[in-house]
Amino acid sequence: MKKQRGFTLIELVVVIAVLGILAGIAIPRFLDAQASARGAKVLADLRTIDSAITMYNAETGDDPTDVRQLTGESGANSKDLLSRVPVPPTGDFIIVRNDGTTKTYQQGATLAYAIVDNRAVYVPAEVGAGTVEWYLSGSSSGGGGSSGGTTITIAPGVTITTTSKGWPAQSVWDDDIYKTYTISAGEVFTYDGSNYIAVDDLTMTKDQAASGPSGTTYGWFKVEEFTGRVLNSTAFPLGTQISNAARGDVYQASDGSLYVYKDGGSWAANPETNSIQWYKIK
């Protein structure tokens, strides 16, 4: 009778290694898919609540301050616009914006939906209200801020669409002076007639926000005010640097890309060849 040959130790090690590699590839993708699904639910909930806020305002002429006012559960002028207050998903989640950029949010100790500045927001305990505004451009009230989605001129012949609800009004902190408010890098807004862009994520307290986007009580270098000056390649002959660029100047590339100067140094390089001193808007 012929003796059957089993697997050798080396063969077993190779098989186990291959399975380990496949698992290492598949598991992160599976976890990302779960986080993306949770993010999609958060966005769907926020859009549902935002729609209910709009209907509430149309029916009553007032703005709701509590999500329960939209379910008929809380006080005067409550309306049955939602069957119940949605419950946020547990675990980390990924938000995907229309331009394809993503941001990951971590689960906080307290998960809830709330209304801040007449907008629906997700409230993880560790970062406060407002962070998921990153996914949406939308309206604002008070504080001198602009409404999202408004086309503004940032330099002669150069227009851009605002992307945030604007600089926060002090009323945002009426219910909780200890919470923070976040404006994400790339958000464009108007404040007291001037146009600004965040060139880095900026989280602020009530007192810091009171100084306005040109204030110095927080990392003011994270927000730039557009000067209204537009540069192009002709300003940088033969790729040289220039010494007269100012913070907030805009550079318009030949392919339509826009950059804002954020460095404030004595010499500025062409952002198409060296963008370290510039923030790319689009």
pLDDT at 51: 82
258-261 and 278-280 beta bridge pairing: antiparallel
pLDDT at 143: 41
Low-confidence ranges of the chain (pLDDT < 50): 126, 137-147
pLDDT at 132: 65
Residue written as tokens 């270098």? 221
pLDDT at 64: 84
Q: What is the pLDDT of residues 12-51, one digit of tens each?
A: 777 777 777 766 665 555 557 788 888 888 888 888 888 8
pLDDT at 226: 92
Contact 189, 164 (CB under 8 A): yes
Residue written as tokens 């009004």? 169
Rounded Cα distance, 121 and 88, in Å: 11
